[in-house]
Amino acid sequence: MIDINLIREDPERVRENIRKKFQHHKLPLVDEALELDARRRALQQEGDARRADRNRLAKEIGSLMKAGKREEAEEAKVRSKENNDRIAEIERESGEAEARLKTVMASIPNIIADDVPIGKDDSQNVQGEVFLEAAKKPFEVPYHLDILESLGGIDLDSARRTSGNGFYYLTGDIARLHSAVLTYARDFMIDKGFTYCIPPFMIRSDVVSGVMSFEEMEGMMYKIEGEDLYLIGTSEHSMIGRFMGQTLREGELPLTLTSYSPCFRKEKGSHGLEERGIYRIHQFEKQEMIVICKPEESDYWYEKMWRYTVELFVSMEIPVRQLICCSGDLADLKYKSCDVEAWSPRQQKYFEVGSCSNLTDAQARRLGIRYKNEKTGKNEFAHTLNNTVVAPPRMLIAFLENHLREDGSVYIPPVLRKYMGGKEKIEPKK
């Protein structure tokens, strides 16, 4: 959610930002926001004036009654009742205007960074830096599910019977590898100075509406029937929600946190759930990083965060690149965003394994996350950022394809061996 003052002072900048995101259907929202804001302020002024008049009349009525001027006192009572009736109407109208303004403001996208490439959709995202050489293997790399099955590491048929499409059982050394990567990622981030957290895996609707747009919620979140609770799609949701309505001390910032959680997603409208494999699924686990900081620090942390993910993958000897998201591929709350993509030797192309986003104060405004500026003494909105450290289902695909050997075994890089009981490779099942 952007600042209403920006719409008041520079509505054309807000409109141009909407055009850059190719959301022309939202242009009328700017004028509606201005009208609602003006209406709300006019009602506030009228309400304040009528309350002041009501208070004046209350004193006047008392004086008139003491002076025995009953007729004049009755006339003042009539005027006072008119004020009361109109104040009740004003409160109702103000509530309606405030609720509609909140809805409109939540639909207007955050101002994007000046260096965000302008493009209509993800086909116009721009490649950034590339890390490690993406080499072609001297043998044909099988589909990742075939590799998993050859290693005795997955059971999709049983998962379909128990849960349906989009679920899986991981077994044996593959299950151990899955946990090893998460544990390594946890320790990696702790070594970077981040505080490790395990958050709630369910959140209330007011947190959901604070961390994402309605469209995102409908496409992602599972609701618990009969309760005001949703399963999280990523630990960012409950981690940011932890600070809802809080005013932090400036000295506490930046808050640098890394969190583990399972993640649950409808993947509504997505393709691939019927396919064999684990690229797009309803349930997975993830290590996340969250930063809450002062506005002047968020660009610095954005750059630092996505590079941490790159460093993690490079340490596991997996080639990756940065992909800079264009304007049309940014969710409404995002100021800028980039993906970290891993190399697929089988497909000879990169695919997404993580995403880093700077939301400036858009998320903090929706959730009421502030900090007290020690110089000015004022409470200001913090900036929030999030980034995937690692999400094992997609990471497993990149890991298996890049570390598969011609004999069917899978190489374990040195950084993971202590989490794998010293194993240097995973052997195929005979």
| Strand ranges for 206-270 from DSSP E | 222-223, 230-231, 247-249, 255-264
Q: Which two tokens stand for residue 147?
A: 């590799």
Looking at residue 220, what is its pLDDT? Answer: 82
- Over residues 92-123, the pLDDT tens digits come to 999 999 999 999 999 999 999 999 999 999 99
Quote the pLDDT of residue 274: 44
Report the pLDDT value the prediction gives residue 111, as an integer from 0 to 100. 97
- Is 122-426 in the same CATH topology as 4-107? no
Query: In residues, how long is the chain?
Result: 430
Residue in 274, 273, 278 with CA at minimum distance from that of residue 146? 278
Taking a C-beta distance cutoff of 8 angstroms, is the pair 11, 34 a contact?
yes
Question: Domain-by-domain residue ranges, the chain?
Answer: 4-107, 122-426
- What distance in Å separates the CA atoms of residue 23 and residue 35, rounded to the nearest whole number? 20
What tokens does 205 get?
């609707």
Q: State pTM to two decimals.
A: 0.89
CATH of domain 122-426: 3.30.930.10
Question: In angstroms, rounded to a whole number, what is the distance separating the alpha carbons of residues 422 and 4?
Answer: 57
In whole angstroms, what is the distance from residue 299 CA to residue 336 CA? 10
CA pair distance 46, 100, nearest whole angstrom: 20
**CATH T-level topology, domain 4-107:** Helix Hairpins (1.10.287)
Q: What is the Cα 357 distance to its own chain's centre?
A: 8
* Positions in the chain short of pLDDT 70: 214-215, 268-276
155-193 pLDDT per residue, tens: 999 999 999 888 999 999 999 999 999 999 999 999 999
